[in-house]
Structure 1
Amino acid sequence: MTVPAATVPADARVILASHNRGKLHELQRILAAAVPGLAPREIISSAGIELPDVVEDAVTFEGNALLKAHSAAAATGLLAVADDSGLAVDVLGGSPGIFSARWSGRHGDDEANNDLLLAQLSDVPPEHRRARFVCAAALVAPDGSEAVERGEMPGRLLRARRGEGGFGYDPLFLPDGQTRTSAELTAEEKDAISHRGIAFRAISRHVAHLLS
């Protein structure tokens, strides 16, 4: 399936393949800041563009990110950036992992996902609540060439939510070296240390090279 040209803005140069509004805002902000000469209006999201459905059946963050980016690049003819990210909890053997967004059984239900995780860790002491956020960012060009970068943010999980910002598991996650959760940090503070900030600053070098 190829998206009709009329549905893609004429000045678009990069498409971010994600339907997650919070994630889109983060990725647009990071990519626009990291690639000289790339205006925010030239970075479009997949929201409002009817892209083919992608079955995320890979078993790694990298694999799922590549599936989404390849599909978006083929459909639009643009440079496509996608990510797959999630929370890996040590005592859960790395879970929720690639199932983070649907850990409770309902995709994107942040409250239910957090409630379930808190229940699963209810008897786990602070010293064993280590976790890390992981992001794999993929870039795919219309010719099929690709690049993948990975970022991680280590920390630990609290026993109760703190903060109103961010999304997902941010209110439960205290990054290493911080006294505030991911949901209490400003957007700029979070971008500087986050798994997505690390991965997308790395992938932005590939974007800049292809757009030069």
Structure 2
Amino acid sequence: MTTNLDAKRAMVWNMGTIAASGAPNAAALFRDVLTASASVPAVFRPQLLDVQAEGRLHQELHVDGAVVAPVFILPQAALVGDRIRGAPGKADFYVLMNGRIDPEFEIVRAETLPIVQQTLATGAQARSSASLAAAYAFAASHRAGFHLAYIDGAAPRPTTVNGFEVSYMRSLYLAGFGKARSGTAWRSTVPLTAPGDVASSVGAPRRGPGSEF
């Protein structure tokens, strides 16, 4: 899935159909869609995809699908419907979150850039939690299995802002590998944090002098 910034909507791609199409641009489109689906805005460059509409050629700007839907198990029309057409009697949903879900307390400097960064991060985490809750509720209402794996509080933490240093990624891989071997990688519920849980556990720190606000 990618996000079409021009249309402000998610796009779901059938990668198998693209690969088997035999079209001369199939391989290039396959790579472009994969790249776009991992193009985090402001971190990686978005992808321009060539499309045709009403007989005219133009380009669409696509980025990571998580901008619209951090968790995708079914199209929205299916999630709000009463049942899944053609679905088997028993279904199991496996959701693998490449990120942290549990909110963690962090003092934010009262400066413009840190506030903007923390606001965007908070919004992204809130969208992930809401999407997970919707997926879990859908699975429960349809008596389907729900399985979630994510980076929890016990996992190693990055030493840089972007978290792409090799040592951190290796330590994170080993932590996940250990959970998989022990059979504890998957949980059947969504982690919830009650209002005030984080703040009450750390007291009320004060910001030092020199704040902008």
- TM-score, normalised via structure 2 length: 0.23
The structure number with the bigger radius of gyration is 2
Which structure shows the bigger proportion of residues in helix conformation? 1
